[in-house]
Amino acid sequence: MIDVRLLRSDLEGVRAALARRGDPELDDLVVRAATLDARLRDITVTRDQLRAKVNDLSAEVGRIKRAGGDASALQAESRALGEAGSELDASYADVEARLRDLLLVIPNVPHPEAPDGAGDHDNPVVIGPVLPAEFEPHQRVPHWDTATELGVLDSERATKISGSMFTLQRGAGATLARALCQLALDRNADAFEEVRPPSLVSTATLTATGQLPKFADDAYAIERDDLWCIPTAEVPLTSIYAGEILDAAQLPVRLIAYSPCYRRESGSAGRDTRGMLRSHEFDKVEILAIATPEQAPDLLQELLRRALGTIEALELPHRVIEICTGDLGQSHHRSFDIEVFAPGADQWLEVSSVSWFSDYQARRANIRYRPADPDGTPRKGTELVHTLNGSALAVPRVWAAIMEVHRQPDGSVRIPEVLWPYMRGITVIEPRRPA
């Protein structure tokens, strides 16, 4: 969430920054939040004054009683003030809860260098596009046809088992999905600690990264246990240090994780749901960094380079777009998407999102650090960390793009050489032979 102190010190600046997101309702939310915060401070002043008066009365009652006098009137006044204090406590709790509810839905302020725009059609291309001169006819076959013919994608049985928008890879297709994850893990093992986090998390954990309350309809809930299926490993990785204070020398913390991911994809019925383009469950490798504000800009570029390097190694046509202010996610401060072109589906597919969240998630999760001078001398107090994350590799659309881009004239699919060490000797997925 945004820093409530900014609403006091620079309300107009916050309003101007959020206006760049293009949602007129945000201004009303910010003004209401500022009003509630002012009300909280007024209640605090009144309550402190009242408590001081009660303390003074208590001291006076004690003095009168020790002198043998009658303090009943003062005691009655003290009780009345105590009741008034209880009412103020209830008012404070009510206003505080309303303010927190507002802050949970107010999005992050965009980075000053994030491009302005109204929606995804305004996202500028910042790298590429890297494309061949032309795609051959055999590459123009949709992956769901190729993969079905090769026997490596069984959508019919996936639907029988679990319903629509689930996938089932078989044989070399399953091996390819696993190989992609292992490739992403190995390419980042030089600088990132591998973690295998839980796939079910608490409401507090899902709230910390900004998925709740806004995206509750897109998440799978296990209501009996107050647990949620993770939409990405970003969620548990971010909260590993929730409520903790790190030393500056520990930063940046670099983590990488493979995990299954679960998303309802509400409202997506009939849109990009064929084959592997959009599914309720998929595998992904996530890279995440916890950093100081000064470290964050360079880390954002590093995460982007690492994710892009994997796509380049897979020999896939690609481009990088920067997300404009009108298309930024709830928690995002600045963000880039890597897209690959799938010639069979004839569209650009987002395969990685690399994002900087400033201190927005850290404030929700209460992750702080002890700053230090360049010589290592600790400074007074603590500050919030900054968080960043990126998809090192998300399987479904990369898998789909490989089936289309690397399809050969005879209907086989060439496995990119970088994956050979993980494919148990398979370098080409061959067509099924007639019985």
Catalytic positions = 263, 278, 350, 353, 397
CA–CA separation, 206 vs 208, rounded Å?
5
* Encoded tokens for 414: 């060439």
Instruction: Give CA torsion, residues 294, 296, 297, 298, to 10 deg.
Output: 100
CA–CA separation, 194 vs 84, rounded Å?
55
Instruction: Give CA torsion, residues 192, 193, 198, 203, to 10 deg.
Output: -60
Q: How far apart are the first and last CA of the chain?
A: 61
CB 360 within 8 A of CB 104: no
The stretches of 106-214 forming alpha helices (DSSP H) are 143-150, 155-162, 172-188, 203-208
CA–CA separation, 29 vs 37, rounded Å?
12
The 3 state secondary structure assigned to 365-391 is HCCEEECECCCCCECCCCEECEEEEEE
Instruction: Give CA torsion, residues 350, 197, 329, 325, to 10 deg.
Output: -80
CB 286 within 8 A of CB 390: yes
Q: How would you list the strands of the sheet with 221-222, edge to edge?
A: 200-202, 227-229, 221-222
Respond yes or no on whether the N-terminal peptide bond of residue 124 is cis (omega within 30° of 0): no
Angle at 366 between CA 265 and CA 305, to 5 degrees: 60
CA–CA separation, 373 vs 370, rounded Å?
10
CB 138 within 8 A of CB 407: yes
C-alpha pair distances (Å), 201 with each of 105, 211, 232, 352, 433: 20, 12, 11, 23, 46
CA–CA separation, 82 vs 76, rounded Å?
10
CA–CA separation, 59 vs 99, rounded Å?
36
